[in-house]
Chains A and B, each alone.
Chain A
Amino acid sequence: MMKGLKKWRFPAMLAALALVLSGCGENYLSTLRPAGEVGREQFNLLILTSLIMLLVILVVVVIYVAALVKFRRSRLGEDHMPQDVEGSHKLEFIWTAIPIVLLLIIAIPTVYYTYKLGDVSAMEKADEEGNPEHLVVDVTAKLYWWEFEYPEYGIVTAQELVVPTDEKVYFNLKAADVKHSFWIPAIGGKMDTNVDNLNKFYLVFDEESKDLKDGVFYGKCAELCGPSHALMDFKVKTMNRDDFDGWVAAMKDTENQVADKDSSDAGEAAFAQSCIGCHATSAVGSTGAAGPNMATFGDRNRVAGYLDHNKENIVNWVQDPQKYKPGNLMPAFDSLSDEDLDAIADYLLGLKVEE
């Protein structure tokens, strides 16, 4: 697709532009520092189109500046009468044809990647034993949190997506209330979670997230969904396949981990009293809970998706969720005693499946 251009110059310019742009933004969040195949393909398309477009801008600016310098009335004199020119068929042809060629150069990879990224046929494939060949995660977006179900393993989690690296991960996307949009900028483009239908796409995660600043990639809601749209963040933990399998096993082990009203742990007892109706503490289950699953709460990076992960924020949140995420559906538990709140926070921070 670059045949028309000088062979060595174009790749060199591409590389230079890529280098400049990749200095932009944080590696856990920026589309300019892609950490996955999909994001990289999109980034390459960005570089290709940017270069062609910079070329267009350059041509326009050169003619523009030259005209402005050469044909100023202050230079030509007040009485100068320019010659009227009707137009030029040759020129009209040139500036119709060249843009068409440039657009074709962009259109070919555009169409190619549109089909490539839209191909989810492998999602249904299974091996001889009926096990699916690829990991599929069902994502449900809710006012203002994310639920991630792994149907193959019968486990579910919330707010923090955990995925293996170096393989295609397929997603089923849906919204439970109003439309949202699922976006992990550093990994690849977004797709809407509609209320009408299931959307499907895939992403590939190349880098293990443990070396990142917070140990996670940042995920965003990209469709206006109400007052707390800006706060509807989630995090993505990526790990190699072995670690991931270990994580899945640990998740499965939480099967009978249910908070007990009569527990000697005051936090667990209080949780069982007030919270269990909406928040499960076992990761075994499926989508559809009223509130986020808490089985991995202690492993998580944030409270409510965006607040620093500490006891104080948990207590504040439980007392007045509307203050921190206006429009969310959790009622305030301001009647709980300070001791109970404290104990609940401790209990939640202790819910972990990772070492």
Chain B
Amino acid sequence: MTTAANTVAQKKGFGATLWDWLTTVDHKKIGILYLIGGGFFFVLGGIEALMIRLQLLVPNNDFVSAGFFNELITMHGTTMIFLAAMPLLFGFMNAIVPLQIGARDVAFPFINSLGFWMFFFGGLFLNLSWFIDAAPDAGWTSYASLSLASTGHGIDFYAIGLQIAGGGTLMAGINFLVTIINMRAPGMTYMRMPLFTWTTFVASALILFAFPPLTVGLFFLTFDRMFGGNFFDVDYGGNTIIWEHIFWIFGHPEVYILVLPSFGIFSEIFTIFSRKRLFGYSAMVFATVLIGFLGFMVWAHHMFTVGLGPTANAIFAVATMAIAVPTGVKIFNWLLTMWGGSIRVTTPMLYALGFIPSFVMGGVTGVQQGAAPLDYQLHDSYFIVAHFHYVIVGGVVLAILAATHLYWPKMFGTMLSEKLGKVTFWFFFIGFHMTFFLQHFLGLMGMPRRVWTYNADQGWDLFNMISSAGALLMAIGVIVMVINIIMTTAKNERVGNDPWEDGRTLEWAIPSPPPFYNFAQTPLVRGLDTYWIEKQDGNKKGYIPAEPLSDIHMPHGSFIPFVMSLGLFIAGFGAMFRVEHSWGLPVLIAGLVLTFLSMSLRSVKDDLGFYVTKEEILRTERGSK
């Protein structure tokens, strides 16, 4: 909401504002929508996690039933990966990446909106399973023999919900790729792109190659469960191991899809708050690309115990270890960025400082599990639970929380409280290590993962209790953060272009939040850390314009993405209930017709957008000063 948009919003009623958000194609607003959607699912997944830890607090607990526990772990994993971590990162990518490259919007604003609404309706579909029939219960990996044997509609919700949400993700990935390739401002060469843009770029390429296998796998699963297919049914010549391969060919790159943008966020933070350019920029870029590439070569390390044979296991073991090299390069470059800098410990920097030891822990246990013979012991034990939470919470979630503080002023024009931010950090950070550190040892002491309860005679009681207590601390941290957001929004103290004072990249050169057209004139980029260079040269404007001030061409909002996604959402219910209810087939068809009609409408109706006149731009620019 720019100052201009604010004045517009004030004239509008609630209905008009709602309509504005439902139809927006502005990357900054879609970024906010992603944050709201992802934030909602993050809280939901967190509540599921608390219930899991409450059940495991003491041995032989019966707080939840065995079947419900499996639903909880499945939905916790699926929600956190697909509906919380990824959308939250997309939120920041949307809000920041176009600004970092000096663009007015993403390449395909319409598709951007469609991507969001498909994620939203897919996530909604999946979570409605709690209220209709049953939630999926075969784990977030949904291994085929169990997912085919699962009764009720839980797995159907999983397959269709993720299919819809995954389609949205694929669109978002393609959109970022095209945006970063085509929409860079003059002078913004690849080797001048900020690291967050670089990591978004590589993560988007991973999405492009990793999501189609997931789509295929989910279609197979959908056909097997709802349309009499036999892809995974061994009795009819199917094969369940194929599902494992398909899932992990997607699933392993997915880890890097999450963690690379997180690396990008931390790279921004280390440079800003060390007041120093990134050490070894080109090595960092190369390491990012290499991690992305190797990420596709290691999927079978999730399957060492499946019985692929020693040759496959040995090859995948060594390939897995290789990833540690570029990751190590990144860690040391961050350390050397801090070295010789002027370190200011703000809340985002605090998260970055917490990230280094946490992520290194997750990385080294990853190497240990890469050693195949050792993995035979560690696989599917609590050790792996500890490992991937160190990577995903210690890497990705800390990055998301850091980015929330770092980019909040840019996105909303107000500054989150530093004091409360630090309180959140310490609760979350201590709680996190309390929860997951001892789980390494639980695994080594023989505790398998995904167990609903455990007997008291196995030496696991104390560590489980400490682990559960830690989860509570994390929850307190998140609650403090929500309070922080509410208080900051209520206070509404506006900030300037560069609230952290040491901003280096283009997004800090324009108002917070930026006007809806971002840059009044497309900037000219003279080097890495553009804004920093201009600041050093005493340029008050913040950037050098590459073009004279003229009318700006902008796209219209559209309601079609919402309707298209809604159609798929409706069709999903039809597909699922087709066999037992006569209304199923008509609903399936009706939903698809709705989607395809709105698609054709979009094709037939030419929408050429509109122009923001020079006068209006001048008025806005003066107003925001």
Contact = CB atoms under 8 A, between A and B. Distances in A.
Interface string B348-370: 00000100110011001101101
B377 A26 contact: no
Interface stretch (A28-36, A259-267, A278-286, A334-342): A28-36
B283 A230 contact: no
A103 B459 CA distance: 33
A181 B314 contact: no
B452 interface: yes
A31 B387 CA distance: 17
Interface in B548-571: none
Band of interface residues on A: 35 or more
A16 interface: no
A246 interface: no
Contact of B343 (A42, A67, A95, A113): A67
A122 interface: no
A306 B455 contact: yes
Given A31-B444, A107-B317, A230-B454, A92 B329 contact: yes
B186 interface: no
Contacts of A14: none
A85 B335 contact: no
Given A114-B373, A175-B145, A227 B66 contact: yes
B444 A71 contact: no
Nearest to B344: A73
A63 B307 contact: no
Contact of A60 (B138, B314, B356): B356
Interface stretch (B196-204, B270-278, B389-397, B593-601): B270-278
B162 interface: no
Interface stretch (B24-32, B82-90, B318-326): B318-326
Interface residues on B, range: 35 or more
Contacts of B318: 107, 110-111
B67 interface: yes
Contact of A64 (B143, B335, B365, B444): B335
Nearest to A60: B360
Nearest to A307: B455
A173 B376 CA distance: 15
Contacts of B234: 195-196
A186 interface: yes
A243 B282 CA distance: 67
A186 B336 CA distance: 43
B139 A224 contact: yes
A26 to B, nearest CB: 5
A230 to B, nearest CB: 4
B445 A24 contact: yes
A190 interface: yes
Interface of B (DSSP majority class): helix
A106 B310 contact: no
A104 B381 CA distance: 26
Interface stretch (A75-83, A132-140, A146-154, A287-295): A75-83
Contact of B277 (A32, A84, A92): A84
Contacts of B139: 224
A85 B277 contact: yes
B307 A106 contact: no
Contacts of B333: 87, 92
A46 B310 contact: no
B314 A225 contact: no
Contacts of A224: 70, 138-139, 143, 146, 450
B317 A85 contact: no
Contacts of A179: 143, 145-146, 240
B377 A42 contact: yes
> Which of B240, B306, B317, B376 has the largest number of chain A CB atoms within 10 A?
B376
A114 B338 contact: no
B189 to A, nearest CB: 16
Nearest to A221: B448
A84 B328 CA distance: 22
Contacts of B70: 224, 226-227, 229
A115 B311 CA distance: 7
A203 to B, nearest CB: 11
B374 A49 contact: yes
A315 B386 CA distance: 39
Interface in A2-48: 21, 24-26, 29-32, 39, 41-43, 45-46
A228 B137 CA distance: 12
Contacts of B368: 46, 49-50, 53
A209 B48 CA distance: 40
B371 A110 contact: yes
B341 A82 contact: yes
A25 B459 contact: yes
B479 interface: no
B309 interface: yes
A190 B339 contact: no
B353 A68 contact: yes
Contacts of A61: 357
Count chain B CB atoms within 10 A of each CB in A32, A186, A189, A327 and give the residue with the most. Answer: A189
B305 A189 contact: yes
A230 B307 contact: no
Contacts of B375: 189
Contacts of B340: 71, 82-83, 85
A81 B494 CA distance: 28
A332 interface: no
Contacts of A73: 275, 342-344
A193 B306 CA distance: 8
11 contacts: A26-B446, A45-B371, A110-B318, A115-B314, A179-B145, A190-B380, A225-B146, A226-B146, A230-B450, A230-B454, A327-B66
